[in-house]
Structure 1
Amino acid sequence: MGFTLEGPVLEGAFVRLEPLGHHHAAGLADAAEEQRDSYGFTWVPRREEVPAYVDTQLGRAADGRLAPYVQVDAATGRIVGATSFWEPRPWPSGEGLCAIEVGFTWLAASAQGTGINTEAKYLLFRHAFETWGVARVDLKTDSRNARSRAAIESVGATFEGVLRNSARSWAPGEDGRLRDSAVFSIITEEWPARRAALEHRLAALHERRTAATAPGRA
């Protein structure tokens, strides 16, 4: 389609997104083994599964279907999760990139609610719209995953509906079964307003973090 899916390093104040490599496996394993209560509907490997997880994602990358990242806490340098660009779709002409999905996202418990997810989505969206020139970014999650749906809506994506029996279920006890997927998107006409809202939110988060770590604060 005249486009090669490769994700560069993307860096912000809270998070650095690094293209996944085998050298990230130990850090991913540590992140994945934190409290796992929020992973009921999400593919997050156990420590012993991480090497195979990395191999699977790099295999998809080699096929041109995925650009996998690790999420690195910018303040500590610690790996705190993963995310990806996924399923590139070309324009009707067959040239260039029309749409991309952001998926395979998870964060260690200690990184949730810190601004890392918000900034990671901002960096991915900005690259997709402003560098690749896509018309659409979409995100999907198990329709039962209220936490994930709220997080997706919080970064400005619009709920479009539910695709029934559309993807593999990762819920415990549902091996071999399909899930219903809640579908969200941002389109190019919406991006300027979504970008401004995300930048405003990130600036406020950064201001609060700076104030909290200022010398002399009790």
Structure 2
Amino acid sequence: MTGFLGNLAEGFEPQPLLVSARLALRPLCEDDRASLAKAAADPQIWAGHPATERWRPEVFGPYFDLLFASGTALTVREAPTGRVIGTSRYYATTDAPCVPSVGFTFLTCDHWGGGTNFELKRLMFGHAFAVSETVWLHIDPGNIRSQTATGRLGAVHDHDAMLDYGTGPGLRQCWRLERTAWEHVLAERA
């Protein structure tokens, strides 16, 4: 079995402040608990996810605790309004030590399909590619929505592995994004 948590590259800041005209990402803090729980409270967000009940407060609470304890999670806000619309985080797996992974991402449904996920990943990948030529993403085999979105980012399904997200092992698809592929996607969207 492949482990989950590895060490990020020395000097890599796992909780940067990343800002664009649309989004503001900042370190997750305890004060975000209520607003992030409110953002996560829509069952539709979790319908294609392995944790289909995460919209429930009693399920989301331990998930928030896991994110907060990681020291690598970010709160995602609309830049113009400051409204919390989701979260994401950096991490590394023991099978790819020191190589940044991006995941644990969710966005409110009103931010699906309108370029918010791309903008979020543009900010996070830009930060990660400052220290690495590769970024990893890990997806549940049944989460077709995330697989499709990840493929559109230029990532390729590299292999499957048993990974432990801190709640027990599970099979995950491991998607690899190379800097050159990402630069190609950015150039096409310019």
Smaller-chain TM-score bracket: 0.7 to 0.9
User: Contact conserved, 1:5 with 1:88, CA < 8 A, in 2?
Assistant: no
Partner of 1:190: 181
Q: Distance in 1 between matches of 2:10 and 2:171?
A: 32
Partner of 2:62: 52
User: Contact conserved, 1:81 with 1:108, CA < 8 A, in 2?
Assistant: yes
Q: Distance in 1 between matches of 2:153 and 2:104?
A: 16
- Where structure 2 has 5 or more consecutive residues not aligned to the other structure, the ranges are 1-8
- Structure 1 residue 142 displacement after superposition: 0.7
Q: Distance in 2 between matches of 1:19 and 1:37?
A: 22
Q: Distance in 1 between matches of 2:62 and 2:178?
A: 34
Q: May I ask how many residue pairs the two structures share in their alignment? A: 179
- Structure 1 residue 87 displacement after superposition: 1.3
TM-score normalized by structure 1? 0.70
- Structure 1 residue 36 displacement after superposition: 2.5
2:118 counterpart of 1:112:
no
- Structure 1 residue 40 displacement after superposition: 3.7
Identical pairs, percent: 28
Q: Distance in 1 between matches of 2:117 and 2:170?
A: 24
CA RMSD in angstroms comes to: 2.8
| Structure-2 change in CA distance of 1:40 and 1:134 (3 Å) | same
Partner of 1:138: 136
User: Contact conserved, 2:155 with 2:181, CA < 8 A, in 1?
Assistant: no
User: Contact conserved, 2:135 with 2:178, CA < 8 A, in 1?
Assistant: yes
- Structure 1 residue 98 displacement after superposition: 4.8
Partner of 1:167: 163
Partner of 1:81: 86
Q: Distance in 2 between matches of 1:123 and 1:159?
A: 22
- The SS at the match of 1:18 is strand
Letter in 2 for 1:180: L
Q: Distance in 1 between matches of 2:129 and 2:137?
A: 14
Whose relative contact order is higher, 1 or 2, with alpha carbons under 8 Å and at least 6 apart?
2
- Where structure 1 has 5 or more consecutive residues not aligned to the other structure, the ranges are 62-66, 92-96, 170-174, 201-218
Partner of 1:26: 34
| Structure-2 change in CA distance of 1:2 and 1:121 (3 Å) | closer
TM-score normalized by structure 2? 0.79
Partner of 1:15: 23
The structure having more radius of gyration, on CA atoms, is 1
